[in-house]
Amino acid sequence: MTGIMSINGEADGGPLRVGLPVVDMVTGLNAVIGVLLALQERQRSGRGQFVEAALYDSGLSLLHPHAANLFMDGTAPRRTGNAHPNIYPYDALATGTDPVFVAVGNDRQFASLCRCIGLPDLAEDPLYRTAGARSVHRDGLKQRLEAAMAAFDGRALVDQLMAAGVPAAPVLPVADALQHPHTLHREMVVEMPGDYRGIGAPVKLSRTPASYRHAPLTPGNAFLPVDDSAKH
């Protein structure tokens, strides 16, 4: 009902459910933000108030940039697959191995991308020289980029692009993402007694960081307390 499914999916396909419960999760975050806003206001007024965060409202709030585009010129949003509706190349592109996602947001980044894949002159082509032109001629541009990128190992190319200032990432399966060195560096996988593994807290506080004292309870499993003095 909020329009999210209508703009999600491949350009030549039908509406597609997002692969995770994004509206539920964002509504939870909005509820937390609302509570924090109310607590801040209470410091001034001394009064409480009712905080509401609805799934429907939160779903509508996610329609960026599609709602803004519609309000601006009345053009109905359309499905664009992995590509950004306004910017190109901001898309998943095939390589000789894994696909990579590039997020080229300006002309400088586009020129750097072209140099990295051996097409320096492409950045001067009138069809692709500006952000607006690249968005209009995206189909032809994607074909030329992928033809050149077919000679590259995807993950090695990502390292080269990032070093050149071009935002890029490999399109990782979930298992690879959970084992990635940066995931471990950020302490985003939690291991606890009883062979429990889960996702860590994404909010990092310098003075009062998250601590993990017991695993989620499941039917048939007893509560397993963990020493509060230890951070796991």
Half-sphere exposure of 146 (CA within 13 A, CB side): 16
By three-state DSSP, how is residue 232 classified?
coil
The question of whether 12 is a catalytic residue gets the answer no
Q: CA 186 → CA 83, 90, 169, 171, distances in Å?
A: 28, 26, 17, 19
- Of 12, 24, 57, 228, catalytic: 24
Q: Using CB atoms within 10 A of its CB, is residue 3 exposed (0-12), middle (13-18) or buried (19+)? A: middle
Task: Show Cβ contacts of residue 169 under 8 Å, excluding neighbours closer than 6 positions.
Answer: 100, 101, 158
By three-state DSSP, how is residue 100 classified?
strand
Active site residues: 24
